Amino acid sequence: MPTDFPQSYRLTGVRKLTPTVKAFEFAHEFDFVPGQFIMVWVPGVDEIPISLSGPNQITVKKVGEATNALHSLKKGDYIGVRGPYGNGFSIPGHRVLLVGGGVGIAPMKALAQYGEKDFTSVIGAQDKTELFFRQYFPGLHMCTDDGSAGEKAFATVVAERLLKDRKFDAVAACGPEVMLKFLFQICEKANVPAYFSMERWMKCGIGVCGHCSVDPTGWRVCKEGPVADGTVLRNSEFFQYKRDQAGREVEL
């Protein structure tokens, strides 16, 4: 049987977590490392990279055509999946600060759940309705842009404070690239190793097309990534520019 070919499975559960985010469960369990992703085929529409939030679970924010189509699917419908791909989180040390922003909370949930570390967590969103999966995060600090739940602050601000207060062996994070940009500066200042799940436009997902590779090293988000550490992030295109579907450079 093919390995890197989309296999179709029925959705066994679809749950609305926020007005824009749904969790989808399917009839197949991946043996995976938190931080790894799969390519999700929405039949007839598109195929997109999505992190595993559990062995048989993805958690997806509605942002465009493919994610909209996915959100319209119901229990019993088929999706195609292949993977798991990428490196996943491999974090040295024990005391880890988890930071999840927006739908970036999804992969951090898998890490919190299966990561076997001494986690302290920060999850942030625009407002109360967009926070989800809070029950999975140990030592949780919530924050929202409007203060409707938890602290009224950016996740980066909360993280900075925590890093000052206590000693952490590492910071693991996923979220919008601008959030990660500031968080990385904070980590560098605090001299704590960063492990960030990054995104670039993906076509093949298996390391052959080059579309997701980043300057100046040619590091492939789909293969060596998506989790980047400081050696990858420093002096790279990350936090500066990326390439669009045609391969043109666009500012972050």
Partner 1 sequence: MLTMEIAGLKLKNPTILAAGFLGTSASILKRVADSGAGAVTIKSIGPEPREGNPNPTVLCWGEGLMNAVGLPTPGYKNMTREWAELKDISVPVIASFYGGSISEFVEVAEAIVENKPAMLDVNIGCPNTKKHGAVFGKDPETAGKLINKIKEVAGSIPVMPKLTPNTDNMLEVAKACVDNGADAIAGFNTWGPGMVIDVNVRKPVMGFKTGGISGPAVRPLMVKGIYDLYEKIDAPIVAVGGIMYGTDVIEAMMAGATAVEIGSGIHYRGIDVFSKACSEMEAWMKENGVKSLEELVGSAH
End-to-end CA distance of the chain: 40
Q: How many residues bind partner 1 (CB under 8 A)?
A: 42
Q: What share of the chain is helix, strand, coil (3-state, %, to 5)?
A: 20, 35, 45
In order of 4, 139, 179, the CA distances from 184 in angstroms are 33, 21, 9
46 binds ligand FAD (CB under 6 A): yes
* Coil, strand or helix at 161: helix
Q: Binders of ligand FAD among 182-201, rule CB under 6 A?
A: 199, 201
Choice between 211 and 242, CB closer to ligand FES: 211
What's the min distance (Å) between Cβ of 199 and partner 1? Answer: 15
**Cα gap 127→75, rounded to integer Å:** 28
Beta bridge partners of 162: none
66 binds ligand FAD (CB under 6 A): yes
Residue 109 CB: number of other CB atoms within 10 A? Answer: 28
From residue 207 to residue 226, the character string flagging contacts with ligand FMN as x (rule: CB under 6 A) and all else as - is -xx-----------------
12 binds partner 1 (CB under 8 A): no
From residue 189 to residue 228, the character string flagging contacts with partner 1 as x (rule: CB under 8 A) and all else as - is -------------xxxxxxxxxx-xxxxxx-x--------
Task: Decide: residue 166, CB within 10 A, 0-12 exposed, 13-18 middle, 19+ buried.
Answer: exposed
Query: Which of the stretches 78-86, 110-118, 143-151, 177-185 binds partner 1 when contact is defined by CB under 8 A?
Result: 78-86
| CA 241 from centroid of its chain's CA atoms | 19
4 binds partner 1 (CB under 8 A): yes
Q: Which does 210 bind (CB under 5 to 8 A by kind): ligand FMN, ligand FES, ligand FAD, none?
A: ligand FES
Q: Which does 220 bind (CB under 5 to 8 A by kind): ligand FMN, ligand FES, ligand FAD, none?
A: ligand FES
**Cα gap 215→95, rounded to integer Å:** 31
Cβ atoms of residues 42 and 208 within 8 Å: no
Choice between 209 and 252, CB closer to ligand FMN: 209
Residue 148 CB: number of other CB atoms within 10 A? Answer: 14
The footprint of partner 1 (CB under 8 A) covers 2-6, 8, 10, 39, 41, 43-48, 78, 80, 82, 202-211, 213-218, 220, 243-249
Per CB under 6 A, residues contacting ligand FMN are 208-209
Residues near ligand FAD (CB under 6 A) are 37, 46, 48-51, 59-61, 63-67, 103, 106-107, 199, 201-202, 226
